[in-house]
Structure 1
Amino acid sequence: MHDIEPVNAAALIPAADERAALVERWAARHGVEAAARLAQAEDFADAVSAEIRPENTEDTYTKSWRVWERFCAAQGFPITEGSRGALVAYVAWLLREGRQRPGPGGVLGYAPASARLHLDAAIVGLRRAGYTVTKDDAAEARVALDGLEVKLIKAKERRGRGQAVAADPDGLYAIAAACDDSLEGRRDLALILTGFHYASRASEPAGLLNADVSVRAKGLVISVLTGKTKHSVRSPKIPYASDPTICPVRAWIAYREALVAHGGDEHRSPTDSAFHWIDQHGNIRGPLGPDGVTQAIKRIAARAGIPVKWTGHSLRSGLASTGRRKGKDAVAIADQGGWARHSRSMLGYMQRDDGWDDNASAGLT
């Protein structure tokens, strides 16, 4: 099997041939000089695309391309052909046996959401390498995936982790009660309360610096600069809470004061990480990374005795669902949490508690 990554030099040869043919057509239409300028513009566009593409997106493409390679090897298909039949067969294989190791319940097939990601990444990889995948063929593969997902649901076979359990004010109170006055306890409370109020992804508090969190008269302004989209790069405002027990602003101030008291004035620096890893002896270590944030959220919630496990996305889900329940405008929720307005993802987070209080048929007759 050929070891072809979607961005390596060998894979770009067909794309280079295609570009040369395009330049020839431009030269015939507009002259050689204009064609050369247009070719330079294409090179510039490629450079801009590479510059703005998030590293984790590139990593996802690379990993998913390896899944496509495994499928092609298993089926005896060339990896360069994204035909209708190959793509439909790919989604069926992903759902049936695509995993290298069994998932929950011993299932070898991917969850539909993961299969969708792998399909989209394979299509992107093929096109970036200069191989043809038509819109109709890609669309048919996606329709096939949707149909196969319906069959799984009808068979009552549910895969994947499902939607994150939403954090809520009751959980915040439980966490506040379980956080002591130690440096770790103050950090934990600040991490949870601030993260809840701006619907943080795990990567966002991990990417914050001290200078990115500004204390103002009415509360905090958080400059989230590590987002993947123009919506997620934002500056949400977090007001003081009416109850000091679960106030994110007071929790942040108390945490940073404790950090300076324990670690010295270096933690006043604007370039100091917002959240640090603190070891079991109370020693301040390096920045808390995204995985560390996720593990901290799980650990903090478990310590507080929250009966349903929180995940790294519980704070994000919590702002959307709690905000909706309290009548907040969907546009305001989207802007605070860094979603596109009317985002399907955000609407999915706006969970109904039990289907009775928020029921479309309630009160109609």
Structure 2
Amino acid sequence: MSTAPQPSAAPLSTTDADDSRTVLLERWAQRHGVDTAQRLAEAEDLADAVARKITPENTRDTYDKSWRVWERFTTAQGLPLTEGTRGSLVAFVMWMLREGQVRGTGYAPSSASTHLAAAVVGLRERGCAVTRDDQAAARKALEGLAVLLLQDGERRGRGQAAAAEVPGLYRVVRACPDTLAGARDKALILTGFHYASRAQDPAGLLAADVALTPRGLVVSVLTGKTKHSVRDAKINRQADPEICPVEAWTAYRARLAVDADPRWSAPDAPAFVGVDRHGNVTGGMVPDSVTRAIKRISVRAGVALSWTGHSLRIGLATTGRKKGKDAVAIADQGGWARHSRSMNGYFQRVDGWEDNATADLT
């Protein structure tokens, strides 16, 4: 037996003023009454808060940036902000490739792909139902247009980062000066390589997150982007002490204890500190300073292709593959899902040569 709809006695309060939420609240009020609708609204607010809490900050930054790109597109084309139709998404892709950047030039297809995916997330967060078919149509258009750009001789974007490799590690450690900064650089590169670090990983470590054990180091990575990347990465001692991450970490911490204020050696101090040109500690490193340091260190060493903040991560995957390490072991060490597309893409750098049809023909 159905009950009669209860009229709204007063406007429902909500933290989201979006029209779609207002419509939803009115529908709930008609179905369940004002009090229940209010509780459902509060539950929605809680769900939004949890989503924000568990979404990594850099991912949230990407969503916000991409939504601003979508806002510029809809303004320029005179389209509704919260309508993600097949036509508008395809037009969004074309606009991005043609003129989407603030300076009026087109985005690289990889950047356009990121903005498309994040804009769809933003539309759905704002109550716009974007179907899989509509999104797939836009992605198919993007892939086809990217091929046309290549056929026209246009190569946009920086391409994949160079992989750090073992010969490069030797060059790097031999170029590090005998200073606190040099000891920090060695430890940053060698440990980062062996647990496939992203730039934010060493920046997020505290001294207590790196534990010395009889067999090596255990690095507790807590700044991961996914459930796979939050992990305890075990780093074995290496046969050659010159590029052994355990030796480098131990030497760095000993040097830090001698050359810097004792507070920087405390368990709750940053694991990796910034050091100015006078040898003074300036505070904990942040992701941008880690990225700059990796590039600077590789340039100083004369590495053929300068490294970026992602080079250490790619290096562990490609080197492990060359050495015949199990893909599952590599995934677990680097914090990838076991069937990660990005990790398999790194493997293809190796497999494309080792399993190539032209290998060992003569």
CA displacement at 1:181 relative to structure 2? 2.0
**Alignment partner of 1:18 is 2:47:** no
Aligned to 1:218: 215
User: Structure 1 CA distance, aligned partners of 2:120 and 2:342?
Assistant: 22
User: Structure 1 CA distance, aligned partners of 2:273 and 2:223?
Assistant: 17
Aligned to 1:173: 170
User: Structure 2 CA distance, aligned partners of 1:23 and 1:362?
Assistant: 69
Question: If the length of structure 2 is used for normalisation, what is the TM-score?
Answer: 0.89
Aligned to 1:49: 51
* Compared CA separation, residues 68 and 40, structure 1 to 2 (3 A): closer
User: Structure 1 CA distance, aligned partners of 2:197 and 2:67?
Assistant: 29
What SS does the aligned partner of 1:223 have? strand
Aligned to 1:61: 63
Q: Which one of the candidate residues 197, 201, 206 is aligned to 1:200? A: 197
Aligned to 2:328: 331
1:115-264 alignment to 2 at 5 Å? 115-264=112-261
User: Structure 2 CA distance, aligned partners of 1:212 and 1:339?
Assistant: 20
What SS does the aligned partner of 2:339 have? coil
Aligned to 2:9: none
User: Structure 2 CA distance, aligned partners of 1:99 and 1:285?
Assistant: 36
Question: If the length of structure 1 is used for normalisation, what is the TM-score?
Answer: 0.89
CA displacement at 1:63 relative to structure 2? 1.5
Tell whether the 8 Å contact from 1:184 to 1:282 is kept in structure 2 after alignment.
yes
Where structure 2 has 5 or more consecutive residues not aligned to the other structure, the ranges are 1-13
* Compared CA separation, residues 76 and 358, structure 1 to 2 (3 A): same
Aligned to 1:95: 97
* Compared CA separation, residues 167 and 23, structure 1 to 2 (3 A): farther
User: Structure 2 CA distance, aligned partners of 1:364 and 1:32?
Assistant: 77
Post-superposition CA distance 1:273-295 (Å, at most 9, x none): 01111001111111111010000
User: Structure 1 CA distance, aligned partners of 2:349 and 2:238?
Assistant: 24
* Compared CA separation, residues 343 and 301, structure 1 to 2 (3 A): same
User: Structure 2 CA distance, aligned partners of 1:191 and 1:40?
Assistant: 45
What SS does the aligned partner of 2:251 have? helix
Letter in 1 for 2:18: L
Letter in 2 for 1:74: A
What SS does the aligned partner of 1:222 have? strand
Aligned to 1:345: 342
What SS does the aligned partner of 2:263 have? helix
Pairwise CA RMSD of aligned residues?
2.4
User: Structure 1 CA distance, aligned partners of 2:335 and 2:69?
Assistant: 31
Tell whether the 8 Å contact from 1:352 to 1:358 is kept in structure 2 after alignment.
no
User: Structure 2 CA distance, aligned partners of 1:325 and 1:314?
Assistant: 16
Aligned to 1:278: 275
Letter in 2 for 1:203: Q
> What is the identity percentage for the equivalent residue pairs of Structure 1 and Structure 2?
62
CA displacement at 1:112 relative to structure 2? 0.9
CA displacement at 1:255 relative to structure 2? 0.2
Tell whether the 8 Å contact from 2:67 to 2:122 is kept in structure 1 after alignment.
yes
User: Structure 2 CA distance, aligned partners of 1:80 and 1:45?
Assistant: 21
CA displacement at 1:33 relative to structure 2? 8.9
